[in-house]
Amino acid sequence: MKDFTQLADLASERLGGKVLEANDEFFAPKENLLKESQPVFLEGKYTDRGKWMDGWETRRRRTPGHDWCMIRLGLPGFLRGAVVDTSFFTGNYPEQVSLEACDLGGPPYRNEKKRLASTATKWSELVPQTPVKGDAQNPVAIRHHDRFTHVRLRIYPDGGVARLRLYGEAVPDKKLFSRPEIDLAAVENGGAVLASSDQFYGAPRNMLMPGRARNMGDGWETKRRRGPGFDWVILKLGAPGVIRRVEVDTAHFKGNFPESCSLEMCYAEGAKHDGFAAAPHAWKEILPRTKLRANHRHLLRVAQNAGPASHVRFNINPDGGISRLRIYGRAERVKLRVSTLDRFNRLAPAEARKALLACCGAKKWVDLMLQQRPFPDLQYALDTADKTCAALERKDWLEAFRHHPPIGEKRAQESQSVTARNWSIAEQSTAQQAPPERLAALAAANAAYQAKFGHVFLICATGKTTDDILRNLLERMKNDKESELSVAAEEHRKITRLRLEKLLAP
């Protein structure tokens, strides 16, 4: 199963998720889609409409089109993945599914259904039309950086889906973070599980859910450890904050509670979720190893003046179960610690795209870079840029070249942003200081080069004189078209790397 299933199901009934409307639910009601329980199959059970199924099932479609249902998320937020569960639907599952989402602001959502049906509402494609298997989980990742409140599931052309899980991170009202103290790790406040050592009996995300646990299955429980070591879970806090106290609840865990626990913190806001556990971080212990009791709420003070935290690592010794974990503190934005890279990681997708286009005009390069956001550090971003350049094809490079003016000129074939234009001027500043006759010679050589190769002459001009550039241009005129494209692409890679460093460096 995909890593995103560590996150909370933002559409779950326990968080307030609701199926609002479906165009058809002849065989089985739409409300089954968001049931928290696993789907079941009851042999021989029928209704007056046919076989009883634990899911949403539409009638057999005899006309063109497809079926759909509309879902309100229990918590607005960023969606990272979905599971389209077709358990027990074997000859009656859809061939394909797709997912779209929109943001209606709120809650509350006034005129909700009317707004969802309106052509003025902007829907974003989360998952394109995708084949699914019958009696299977069908996990699919979602790569989108916008906040959403509602989701539309489409099934093609008809059939049944047992459950729909929409995993992600909640985005609460910003006013919440102005309170003197909140639970920084609560799922409704944006807390999320990034990794754990084990979750054999119960998922660690259960610890972050609202209210007290209903039973032993509503917590995080690991298998019995038969060797050295201990179990752990890493959490991303909903907002960076100063931790004041923690609550460790072992409710319902009586013969299987941990002997003790400890808590560590670090500040790594903007770090990538994937691989966070394996990456080096400056962990600081704020709660030393502390004895625990069975079926008990432990209210524990932590070390003060430890500074702000964005992530915590909760350790249990050696194994066992925890029903709830609360990390109480004051949310705060650490302005002095927010780097240029952090600010870039938080940009809206449209703004991030605009910034990256100034570095490289190839849309494919920009799309691939956006998929890798957020960048944990500058070096990772630069290395990713190099790898992404290696994935470009001829048409992509030619698109990128069109966003650069010829050496000695100011206007490119394609329009440039103000940032890109200023960078071009700075990169050519040394060459521009040459006498008029040398600039004229360079312009003539540029024209000859473009006539032969069909694209602008590209060189990483930073620090190079007009004579350096002219000598390089005349030497490269001896190349064939394919060889020269490779040389120009490598020069563009250098330019892109320098520009990205300017964009992201402190």
**What CATH code is carried by the domain that includes residue 308?**
2.60.120.260
The verdict on 162 and 232 lying in the same domain is no
- What pLDDT shows up at residue 468? 84
Going by pLDDT thresholds of 50, 70 and 90, the confidence category of residue 337 is very low
What does the alpha-carbon distance between residue 407 and residue 425 come to, in Å, rounded to a whole number?
10
pLDDT over 90 at 303, yes or no: no
User: In the chain, what is the straight-line distance between the N-terminal and C-terminal CA atoms, in Å?
Assistant: 38
- What pLDDT shows up at residue 335? 43
The domain in which residue 186 lies consists of 174-336
Higher pLDDT, 416 or 454: 454
- What pLDDT shows up at residue 405? 82
Higher pLDDT, 1 or 405: 405
What does the alpha-carbon distance between residue 345 and residue 357 come to, in Å, rounded to a whole number?
15
Going by pLDDT thresholds of 50, 70 and 90, the confidence category of residue 272 is confident
Going by pLDDT thresholds of 50, 70 and 90, the confidence category of residue 506 is low
Q: Which of 105, 138, 169 is the last residue in one of the domains?
A: 169
- What pLDDT shows up at residue 86? 98
Q: Which of 135, 169, 203 is the last residue in one of the domains?
A: 169
Q: Which of 336, 368, 391 is the last residue in one of the domains?
A: 336
Q: Across residues 394-415, what is the average pLDDT?
A: 82
pLDDT over 90 at 97, yes or no: yes
Residue at 281: amino acid letter = H
- What pLDDT shows up at residue 439? 78
Strands 309-317 and 260-266: antiparallel
Can you spell out the DSSP letters for 381-395?
Answer: HHHHHHHHHHT--HH
Window from 211-215, 253-257, 456-460 with minimum mean pLDDT: 456-460
pLDDT over 80 at 431, yes or no: no
Window from 217-221, 278-282, 406-410, 454-458 with minimum mean pLDDT: 406-410
Cβ burial of 477 (10 Å; 0-12, 13-18, 19+) is middle
pLDDT averaged over the chain?
90
Q: Across residues 306-320, what is the average pLDDT?
A: 94
- What pLDDT shows up at residue 102? 94
Residue at 427: amino acid letter = E
pLDDT over 90 at 76, yes or no: yes
Window from 35-44, 183-192, 409-418, 456-465 with minimum mean pLDDT: 409-418
Cβ neighbours around 406 below 10 Å, total: 20
Going by pLDDT thresholds of 50, 70 and 90, the confidence category of residue 332 is confident
The verdict on 331 and 364 lying in the same domain is no
Q: Across residues 180-207, what is the average pLDDT?
A: 94
Q: What is the pLDDT of residues 140-162, one digit of tens each?
A: 999 887 889 999 999 999 999 99
Of 209-218, 265-274, 403-412, give the range with the top mean pLDDT: 209-218
Nearest to 136 by CA among 83, 95, 87: 87
Beta-bridged to residue 232, according to DSSP, are: 315
Q: What is the pLDDT of residues 433-446, one digit of tens each?
A: 667 887 788 888 88
pLDDT over 60 at 125, yes or no: yes
The verdict on 332 and 188 lying in the same domain is yes
Q: Across residues 221-239, what is the average pLDDT?
A: 95
Q: Across residues 277-284, what is the average pLDDT?
A: 86
Q: What is the pLDDT of residues 5-55, one digit of tens each?
A: 999 999 999 999 999 999 999 999 999 999 999 999 999 999 999 999 999
User: Would you say 423 and 458 are in contact if contact means Cβ atoms under 8 Å apart?
Assistant: no
The verdict on 281 and 331 lying in the same domain is yes
The CATH number linked to 355 is 1.10.3330.10
The verdict on 285 and 191 lying in the same domain is yes
Q: What is the pTM of this model?
A: 0.67
Cβ burial of 288 (10 Å; 0-12, 13-18, 19+) is exposed
- What pLDDT shows up at residue 144? 83
The verdict on 192 and 147 lying in the same domain is no
Of 56-60, 110-114, 469-473, give the range with the top mean pLDDT: 56-60
% of the chain with per-residue pLDDT over 70 = 96
Q: Across residues 356-375, what is the average pLDDT?
A: 91
Going by pLDDT thresholds of 50, 70 and 90, the confidence category of residue 281 is confident
The verdict on 47 and 141 lying in the same domain is yes
Can you spell out the DSSP letters for 139-175?
Answer: EEE----S-EEEEEEEEES--EESEEEEEEEE---GG
pLDDT over 70 at 430, yes or no: no
Q: What is the pLDDT of residues 445-470, one digit of tens each?
A: 888 998 999 998 888 877 778 888 88
Nearest to 135 by CA among 158, 160, 170, 102: 160
The verdict on 204 and 136 lying in the same domain is no
The verdict on 355 and 313 lying in the same domain is no
Number of domains within the chain: 3
Q: Across residues 118-139, what is the average pLDDT?
A: 94
The verdict on 352 and 499 lying in the same domain is yes
- What pLDDT shows up at residue 110? 85
The verdict on 315 and 355 lying in the same domain is no
Q: Across residues 376-401, what is the average pLDDT?
A: 90
Going by pLDDT thresholds of 50, 70 and 90, the confidence category of residue 408 is low
- What pLDDT shows up at residue 334? 46
Q: Output the six-digit token pair for 436.
A: 């008029």
- What pLDDT shows up at residue 2? 61
The verdict on 294 and 371 lying in the same domain is no
